[in-house]
């Protein structure tokens, strides 16, 4: 069977995608999968060096790459980049709101500044990206899809990660609301809830030394990869899925939390968050 990116290309023949935070990690892995299927890809990232270093491989893989330097919290720059891309590509089929940051620490010691920082990037920018993309997706004859990258932390809510957990829970709720509002259109919404895998997420994280060391240990010992996550995400878009918890063995957490929330939280108290160590 053809790869998911190729099957999506059969649905959306123009094959146009815009991805935030696509200079590394999951964003780059998604761009790589799409490039191999001949997609036209707009990448929005705040790190010029990451974009420059990774563009040649994407082009060699078969993609048409348009890179835009900017921060997702700057709505004017975000809108200008997306408008430039859609003008060049003739529209949009797939929007991926992937850019995000992390923070760790007890709620009682996490400063308000860190809360504002993480919510602005992880939540407000996802809402902004969705809002900016919708007119283009609705205008496409075959519709399109918005993929919002949350985290298993958004439903598992492990301790010492309050600000991060809350931001990703908001992305889950935002996408659920968006999906309801898109009823009657040809635009689909998907929220992705992966556990930890090796990315550069911690490069900009705000956390104490102890919390940072724990997060790095979780990430470094995870067997899940950005490449595997990217393939699963595109398969979910093909299947018009709504929620996607990854990897497969994390789905028991998703089901348990929704069915028995009090029991799930009691397990966290007893285990110190160990049952969700890969979120």
pLDDT of residue 200: 59
Q: Which string of DSSP letters, residue by residue, matches 151-188?
A: -THHHH--TTBHHHHHHHHHHHHHHHHHHHHTTTSSEE
Q: What is the pLDDT along the chain (279 residues), one digit of tens a residue?
A: 579 999 999 999 999 999 999 999 999 999 999 999 999 999 999 999 999 999 999 999 999 999 999 999 999 999 999 999 999 999 999 999 999 998 888 999 999 999 999 999 999 999 999 999 999 999 999 999 999 999 999 999 988 889 999 999 999 999 999 999 999 999 999 999 998 766 555 566 665 566 655 555 655 666 789 999 999 999 999 999 999 999 888 888 889 888 998 988 888 776 554 444 433
- Tokens 């301790």 belong to 159
Active site residue 66: no
Q: What is the DSSP string of 4-22?
A: HHHHHHHHSTT-EEEEETT
Residue 277, pLDDT score = 41
DSSP one-letter string for 115-139 = HHHHHIIIIIHHHHHHHHHHHHHHH
- Please give the residue range of the domain that contains residue 139: 4-276
The H helix count followed by the E strand count for the chain is: 12, 7
Pairing of strands 64-69, 94-97: unpaired
Q: What CA–CA distances, in Å, run from 38 to 10, 14, 176, 216, 263? A: 12, 10, 30, 35, 47
Structural domain total, the chain:
1
- Torsion angles phi and psi, residue 113, rounded to 5: -60, -40
Contact 125, 73 (CB under 8 A): yes
pLDDT at 140: 95
CATH number at residue 246: 3.40.50.720
């Amino acid at each position: 069977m053809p790869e998911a990116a190729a099957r999506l290309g059969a649905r959306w023949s123009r094959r146009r995608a815009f991805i935030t935070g696509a200079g590394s990690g999951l964003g780059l892995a998604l761009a790589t999968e799409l490039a191999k299927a001949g997609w036209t890809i707009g990448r929005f990232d705040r790190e010029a060096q990451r974009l420059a270093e990774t563009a040649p491989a994407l082009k060699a893989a078969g993609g048409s790459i348009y890179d835009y330097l900017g921060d997702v919290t700057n709505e004017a720059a975000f809108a200008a980049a997306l408008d430039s891309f859609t003008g060049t590509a003739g529209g949009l089929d797939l929007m991926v709101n992937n850019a995000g940051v992390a923070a760790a620490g007890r709620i009682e010691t996490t400063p308000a500044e860190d809360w504002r920082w993480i919510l602005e990037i992880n939540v407000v920018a996802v809402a902004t990206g969705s809002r900016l993309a919708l007119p283009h997706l609705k205008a496409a004859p075959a519709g399109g899809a918005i993929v919002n990258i949350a985290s298993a932390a958004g439903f598992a809510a492990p301790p010492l990660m309050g600000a991060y957990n809350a931001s990703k829970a908001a992305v889950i709720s935002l996408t659920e609301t968006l999906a309801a509002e898109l009823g009657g259109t040809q635009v689909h919404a998907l929220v992705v809830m992966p556990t930890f895998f090796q990315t550069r997420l911690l490069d900009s994280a705000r956390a104490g030394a102890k919390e940072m060391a724990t997060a790095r240990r979780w990430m470094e010992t995870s067997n899940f990869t950005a490449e595997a996550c990217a393939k699963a995400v595109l398969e979910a878009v093909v299947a018009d899925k709504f929620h996607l918890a990854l990897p497969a063995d994390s789905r028991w957490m998703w089901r348990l939390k929704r069915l028995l929330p009090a029991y799930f939280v009691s397990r966290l108290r007893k285990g110190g968050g160990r049952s969700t160590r890969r979120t």
